[in-house]
Amino acid sequence: MARRSPPQLPASRRGVVSFRWKLIFGAISASLCALALLSIHYHRQSRPIPSLSAARSRIPLQKYSGDRPKMAFLFLARLDLPLDFLWDRFFKGGDERNLSIYVHSTPGFTFDEDTTRSHFFHNRQLKNSIEVVWGEASMIAAERLLLASALEDPSNQRFLLLSDSCVPLYDFGYIYTYLMSSPKSFLDSFLDTKDQRYTMKMFPVIPKEKWRKGSQWISLIRSHAEVIVNDDTVFPVFQKFCKRSLPLDPTKKWLYLKHRRHNCIPDEHYVQTLLTMRGLESEMERRTVTYTTWNLLAKKAEAKSWHPLTFTSDNSGAKEIEEIKKINHVYYETEYRTEWCRANSKPVPCFLFARKFTRGAAMRLLSEGLVESSTDTTTTS
């Protein structure tokens, strides 16, 4: 039996169907083009945190063979440096060939005769600085930019991250000898058993057993600074999951729940976790050299606040400073660990710097000569 051919539409009907399909395909194409344009516009407006791949290619990774290694002072500033007059005196007490200075400030801010009282900071701001938001990955992005800039100078062998409210507790020579005599980084790092900032969404890139916490204010050897700047696996995880949560408003709870993101406070976890994951804990003195006190506030209700004690002209005299200088160990309650402070296997005071100091407190330190080395302090020389 012969097979029947399928029925054919009249020529006029076929023309109508073809025209309809053309309209449909045209609408789809127009929609795709519009989405593409919107995507381009969005990415231009969102200003993502810049990659360090370009900076990484300029970083000299060779070992330093010179005889004048430098300490790189990396200042993370909100805008200007209100304690520049104290740092000016500090840097004048050292050899300029042994130090370098880098400042991350608000994009567009320039350190010159109009904005700083110290020539040491003139034009020391990063040209590629970014807007920094506390509690988000932009904080550690700024730290990485500082480290990347400092690593371009092969003479820089120690890297000190400091805030705009930090002050030195000793003179330049003492701090230089203290840090240069040790082959290790000074990095506050501990396991917090009560921590709720880790999320399993970070796994498997960041295993929970490698999650660490510690002070943001670090002192690094060069190889550890290179690890941080060259990291392209752990940092993206912090970018993705470390977001500030919206404040909980009982009248808008649904909005809070809809937009809530996990807030892991990246500056208290990133460096510690990364170096632990790289198996470098044996190359650390697991403590910070920058003193902060969180439990000396007058009111018990404020003792657990997010903000540390502020030093003013009233509580920054010789007695208070000497008490800080006498501290020779740090106890980590969550690990039942006592960290006795050493540099190159020798007992030393734990802290070289302190924060948060007001202008009045810094002026008192300067006028009373409280940033000089103490004659009864064990040195590392």
**360-372 pLDDT per residue, tens:** 999 999 999 998 7
Interstrand relation of 167-168 and 219-221 (parallel, antiparallel or unpaired): unpaired
Distance CA 165, CA 102 (A): 15
Over pLDDT 70: what percentage of the chain? 72
* pLDDT on residue 320: 95
* pLDDT on residue 65: 67
**83-105 pLDDT per residue, tens:** 999 999 999 999 999 999 999 99
Q: Position of tokens 């395909």? A: 25
Helix axes 270-277, 222-230, angle to 10 degrees: 100
Residue 164 contacts residue 194 (beta carbons within 8 Å): no
For the ranges 268-277, 285-294, 302-311, which has the lowest average pLDDT?
302-311
Alpha helices in 47-137 (DSSP H): 53-56, 84-92
**120-166 pLDDT per residue, tens:** 999 999 999 999 998 899 999 999 999 999 999 999 999 999 999 99
* pLDDT on residue 194: 76
Residue 21: pLDDT band by 50, 70, 90 thresholds? Answer: low
* pLDDT on residue 189: 95
Helix axes 84-92, 359-367, angle to 10 degrees: 30
Torsional sign, CA 24, 28, 33, 34: positive
Residue 109 contacts residue 135 (beta carbons within 8 Å): no
Residue 294 contacts residue 274 (beta carbons within 8 Å): no
Residue 27: pLDDT band by 50, 70, 90 thresholds? Answer: low
Residue 242: pLDDT band by 50, 70, 90 thresholds? Answer: confident
* pLDDT on residue 345: 83
For the ranges 21-35, 73-87, 156-170, which has the lowest average pLDDT?
21-35
Residue 191 contacts residue 335 (beta carbons within 8 Å): yes
Torsional sign, CA 78, 79, 82, 85: positive
Pairs from 334-341 (Cβ < 8 Å, separation ≥ 24) = 334/190, 334/191, 334/192, 334/193, 334/194, 335/190, 335/191, 337/190, 339/285, 339/286, 339/287, 341/285, 341/287
Fold of 70-244+262-288: Spore Coat Polysaccharide Biosynthesis Protein SpsA; Chain A (3.90.550)
Residue 161 contacts residue 140 (beta carbons within 8 Å): no
What distance, in Å, lies between the first and last C-alpha atoms of the chain? 108
pLDDT averaged over every residue in the chain: 82
Residue 210: pLDDT band by 50, 70, 90 thresholds? Answer: very high
CB atoms within 10 A of CB 252: 12
For the ranges 148-162, 169-183, 232-246, 297-311, which has the lowest average pLDDT?
297-311
Distance CA 216, CA 105 (A): 17
Across the range 3-25, mean pLDDT stands at 51
